[in-house]
Amino acid sequence: MRPNYAQDAPPTELTVGDASFAIETDYRVWIDVLEKLQALVPVDTDDAQIVENVRILTEVEHMIFGRVIDAPLPDLIDAIAEFAKGYPTAPMQTDGGGAQTYSFKYDLNEIIIAIRNQSGIDLSYRRKEPFHWWEFLLEFRTLCGDHYILNLMEARGYKGNDKELLRRKRMCALPVEYSAAEQAEIDAFLEMFEEGEHANQHED
């Protein structure tokens, strides 16, 4: 049987390759980890970006393990990504390309309030002891009813043609943010465009 909350406590160690390491499990740490990982850019030859990726991963290792561990980076990234999913869930059928409906960066206040109102668990600054990332994900994923965050998510995910609902969707939309890889592609395109503009100016 897959790991489940009825029988299995959420893990406090992370297996990377053939070794296991004690880790920080608090949801606040993992929200920060996920945000930092967004800054990684897949590169093969750009030395400066490789150095930046290593710097980011070093920060992430200190956040999770309290130190840099002896493990291959591909194994490390795979292990972190797998842990970040939480308890296994059934595969979700999606139509792809949907709008982002929530952001821990922008919506965390609303999520914390919704969890408190539904489960009575205070995850605000008042809580000093850790709250496991996997348990946080369970609380978030099982929110139901009329919580404000769910109303926001419904508005952001609207796909119909109703003018009022489309207006609300625009009002509730999250700021456009690009991953580091996407931003690098945009910057490269703009650089090419600017070079073309300069070349045209010289020809004139």
Domains of the chain, by residue range, sit at 13-84, 104-172
Token pair, residue 164, equals 């009022």
∠ CA 39-138-105, nearest 5°, is 30
Query: What digits encode the pLDDT tens for the residues 78-87?
Result: 999 999 999 9
Q: In angstroms, what CA-CA distances link 88 with 5, 18, 83?
A: 10, 21, 10
Q: What is the pLDDT of residue 188?
A: 60
Torsion (CA) 153, 155, 157, 158 in degrees, nearest 10: 160
Q: What is the pLDDT of residue 106?
A: 95
The per-residue b/e assignment along 140-152, b for 16 or more CB within 10 angstroms, e otherwise, is: beebeeebebbeb
**Percentage of residues in the chain with pLDDT exceeding 70?**
82
Which residues, given as ranges, of the chain have pLDDT below 70? 44-45, 92-98, 178-204
